[in-house]
């Protein structure tokens, strides 16, 4: 008899995990989602083998249960699981961006004879829904596992074996360590991006011209402010302690900058930006991090009719797919810049190689 997997929540993450499991295991993959449309889509795309009408029905024979839902919903579902009959020895995991509260809540499952292991695949996409699911969405990404203290090591190994089709790099952290680190590199930057947008919105009330000036670089550096408000509300409330500590540190950091500017201390200001540049430039370029990356390639193009179609035809010739193309600057009698966005680092490097063979100058920022 085939082993059975239940995916609760058939969006981008749940769907991608289902596809990765299908590539490596001959298992029966069942799915549940509150959206009938997503459920039907998952069946039609063969992301799952069967749909279940309720979670209680789906868990009875499940060897692996994956809660691919928002963090507040995950907490609720764990409470529900504690009232249902679970298969002895089953593994339950989640995909939430916060871990401490969820792992604490899951302590109630110990009495059911199952293992709960918190999970956080640190990759995503700028698309959503099960139709955007890809088996290799998490390839080369970090997949954080946060087992509670005393969790059976065999269960952790079994979960990694279940998930080996993701081709992710597994890292084991304590729930509190995860929340502190994820808070710094993912959760807190979303606060900063939203705050910058609010600041510009207030200036726009006095001078509407600012929205036109913000259409370029400002819009790019604040792109994460367009993420789901519901999701980020829940994440910040779940990771309250880390957020408050980071806010305190950030305010101290801004006081330092304010003091340098007030004192017109040119050397300190230069060093501040130089140190930031050095640290930022030393960060890994090819590894996937907590915030989904854009694989952008910048191409210098001359002011000449047909140049954009020439670039795209070169990419088409080598079967390299674009996710986005944007004209950053093309003015009469000067070189312009195209920003090409790709799905993966591999596509970006192939595009760069082939465009440079055709004498286009390219660069990565």
CA quadruple 318, 287, 167, 185: dihedral sign: negative
Show me where the domains of the chain are located: 4-173, 178-281, 295-363
Query: For the chain, how many residues are written?
Result: 365
CATH 3.40.50.720 holds for 4-173: yes
| pLDDT tens digits, one per residue of 294-323 | 678 888 888 677 888 889 999 999 999 887
Q: Report pLDDT digits (tens) over 74-115.
A: 999 999 999 998 999 999 999 999 999 999 999 999 988 999
Q: Rounded distance, CA 243 to CA 188, Å?
A: 7
Decide if 128 contacts 194 (C-beta within 8 A): no
Going by their DSSP bridges, the two strands 50-51 and 115-121 should be labelled as: unpaired
Average pLDDT over residues 250-275: 96
Average pLDDT over residues 229-242: 91
Q: How confident is the model at residue 212 (pLDDT cuts 50, 70, 90)?
A: confident
Same fold, 4-173 and 295-363: no
For residue 133, pLDDT over 90 is answered with no
pLDDT at 135: 87
Which sign does the torsion angle of CA 33, 37, 41, 43 carry?
A: positive
Confidence of residue 331 (pLDDT cuts 50, 70, 90): very low
DSSP secondary structure of 191-223? HHHHHHHHHHHHHHTT-THHHHHTTTHHHHHTG
pLDDT at 199: 94
Please tell me the predicted confidence (pLDDT) of residue 126: 61
Can you give the three-state secondary structure of 224-266, one letter per residue?
HHHCCHHHHHHHHHHCHHHHHHHHHHHHHHHHHHHHHHHCCCH
Q: How many CB atoms lie within 10 A of CB 209?
A: 10
* CATH number, domain 295-363: 3.30.2130.10
Choices 1.10.3660.10, 1.10.3720.10, 2.40.50.140, 3.30.750.24: CATH for 178-281: 1.10.3660.10
Residue 149 and residue 103: Cα distance in Å, rounded?
10
Q: Residues 299, 337: contact at Cβ < 8 Å?
A: yes
Dist CA 189 CA 85 (whole Å): 41
Q: Is the pLDDT of residue 273 over 80?
A: yes
pLDDT over threshold 90, residue 287: no
Residue 140 has pLDDT above 50, yes or no: yes
């Amino acid at each position: 008899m085939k082993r059975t997997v239940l995916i609760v929540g058939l969006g981008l993450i749940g769907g991608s995990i289902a596809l990765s499991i299908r590539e490596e295991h001959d298992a029966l993959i069942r799915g549940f989602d509150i959206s009938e449309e997503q459920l039907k889509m998952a069946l039609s795309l063969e992301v799952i083998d069967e749909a279940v009408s309720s979670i209680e029905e789906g868990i009875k024979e499940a060897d692996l249960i994956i809660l691919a839902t928002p963090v507040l919903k995950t907490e609720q579902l764990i409470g529900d699981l504690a009232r249902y009959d679970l298969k002895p020895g089953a593994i339950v995991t989640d995909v939430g961006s916060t871990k401490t509260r969820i792992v604490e809540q899951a302590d109630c499952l110990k009495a059911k004879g199952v293992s709960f292991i918190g999970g956080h695949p640190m990759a995503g996409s700028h698309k959503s829904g099960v139709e955007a699911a890809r088996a290799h969405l998490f390839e080369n990404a970090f997949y954080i596992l946060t087992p509670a203290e005393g969790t059976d090591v065999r269960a952790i190994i079994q979960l990694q074996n279940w998930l080996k089709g993701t081709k992710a790099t597994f890292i084991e952290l304590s729930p509190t360590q995860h929340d502190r680190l994820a808070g710094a590199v993912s959760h807190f930057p979303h606060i900063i991006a939203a705050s910058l947008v609010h600041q510009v919105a207030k200036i726009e009330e006095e001078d509407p011209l600012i929205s036109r000036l913000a259409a370029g670089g400002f819009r790019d550096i604040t792109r994460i402010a367009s993420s789901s408000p519901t999701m980020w509300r829940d994440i910040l409330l779940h990771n309250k302690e880390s957020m408050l500590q980071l806010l305190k540190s950030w305010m101290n950091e801004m006081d330092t900058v304010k003091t340098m500017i007030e004192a017109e201390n040119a050397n300190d200001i230069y060093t501040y930006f130089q140190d930031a540049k050095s640290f930022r430039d030393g960060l890994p370029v090819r590894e996937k991090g907590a915030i989904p990356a854009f694989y952008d390639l910048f191409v210098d193009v001359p002011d000449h009719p047909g140049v954009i179609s020439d670039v795209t035809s070169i990419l088409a010739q080598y079967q390299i797919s674009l996710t986005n193309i944007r004209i950053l600057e093309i003015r009469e009698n000067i070189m312009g810049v195209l920003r090409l966005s790709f799905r993966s680092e591999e596509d970006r490097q192939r595009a760069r190689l082939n465009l440079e063979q055709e004498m286009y100058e390219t660069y990565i920022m």
